[in-house]
Amino acid sequence: MIVRPPQALSPQAREGGIRDAAFDVLHHELMQERASSLSRTAEKLEAKLAALRDTDQQEGKETAIDRERLLDEAGEALWHLVIQREACGLRNPESFFRELHATPEIRLQIRLRMRPLPKLGTDSSAQEITGTDR
């Protein structure tokens, strides 16, 4: 099976004609996907912030553990949203932080997170990753 790009994208296509229209459509679709992704990421952050506010109204040892977990998740969601905003060309996060009521405590959770890899021999997925059999 041979896959070829559309004729409108070929080098022989006239400049300013069909080729430009095809690129305009592609650009429009990319912008729609960026906006959609930004919206989904913002909704995830808003859900984490709402859960954190709910936890702050409760008391107890389990609540403190849940709060730390939610704080960490909110920081990670905020980090994802900052990256997504920058990909969309929105560079200044300060007004955005104020609008979201992102406290300094949450903003301090923005950091690179290193997830530990599963140990070899204890998890079948680790064997799949490395291609080893035991």
In a domain, 55, yes or no: yes
**Given this model, what pLDDT does residue 33 score?**
92
In a domain, 87, yes or no: yes
In a domain, 10, yes or no: no
In a domain, 6, yes or no: no
Cα separation of 61 and 50, whole Å?
20
Placement of tokens 């007004």 in the chain: 95
- What pLDDT band is residue 134 in, cutting at 50, 70 and 90? very low
In a domain, 131, yes or no: no
Mean pLDDT of 106-130: 66
Which helix H or strand E contains 15, and what residues bound it?
none
Look up the domain containing 81 and give its range: 19-112
Q: Choose between 134 and 75: higher pLDDT.
A: 75
Query: Could you read off the pLDDT of 95-114 as tens digits, one per residue?
Result: 888 888 888 888 888 876 66
Of 3-12, 49-58, 78-87, the poorest mean pLDDT is in 3-12
In a domain, 11, yes or no: no
Query: What's the predicted TM-score (pTM) here?
Result: 0.65
Q: Is the pLDDT of residue 118 over 90?
A: no
In a domain, 50, yes or no: yes
In a domain, 123, yes or no: no
Q: Is the pLDDT of residue 73 over 50?
A: yes
Domain total for the chain? 1
Longest dimension (CA), the chain: 70
Q: Are 101 and 68 in contact (CB under 8 A)?
A: no
